[in-house]
Structure 1
Amino acid sequence: MKITEVAVMPADGPDERLLAFAAVTFDESFVVNDLRVIRHDDGGIFVAMPSRHATQRCRVCDAKIQVRSRFCSNCGIDSPVADHAQSPSRPFADIAHPINAKMREYIEHAVFQALAKVTASRTRPVSDA
């Protein structure tokens, strides 16, 4: 599987940890959107894969609610998840992710290269030539 395109959009917002969003195209036929480039507290950076809030069922109305919600958004009852003892330890679920370290490194390398190019072009002075 070959990465044929990487699109990086720098994040311009108040969160200093979020550096950019990215989309990676494989073999000119499959795209993974909503990757995030995030800075660790120790200064390192990593690529977070796209994810969504994990859900569970309301005990009263059976509607889907986000894990760790304090109440059901459908019926309004207090959520049993307020007791975090039953709550899953991961409130987010990956949508797409590499299944081995080699593929993760390949994706990260491609995204980091594209981010470096975008960052360099944003900081380069414009010439009037």
Structure 2
Amino acid sequence: MNRVKSLRIEKGVEISMLSYVLGISQDSMHAYEDLDKQPNWYNASLLADYYNVSQAYLLGETDVRDYSKLIEDVQAELREAKQELRLARRNNWISPDNIRQICNRKNLLQARVKHLKEEQQIYGNGSAC
């Protein structure tokens, strides 16, 4: 099942109602859901806004539905790693190898946050409007 259809079903909306609300013909909606054609930029923008996802997610170009939430989660994990590192250094209770592992984890998380923010710039969180 494609995302246009799965998002509509998830939201519990009929094609006729969605078609009416967004001003997209029912024939076009059926074609999008049957994978006969992809929505043009304008219709993809309308659908993405309606479902509060990026156009890239709607069209299957990325599996990230909400970059803001994912970035928040990774940043929280990064804060935990930094706190763990501060405590370990302050209390001298862990080996240098373990400190290196925590440092590596922190660096990977920082790189992941940077990468996700770059993707968010490209794909947006809602439509690209």
Q: TM-score normalised to the size of structure 1?
A: 0.25
Which protein is richer in strand relative to its size? 1
- Greater Cα radius of gyration, structure 1 or 2: 2
Higher relative contact order (CA 8 A, sep 6+): 2
Which protein is richer in helix relative to its size? 2
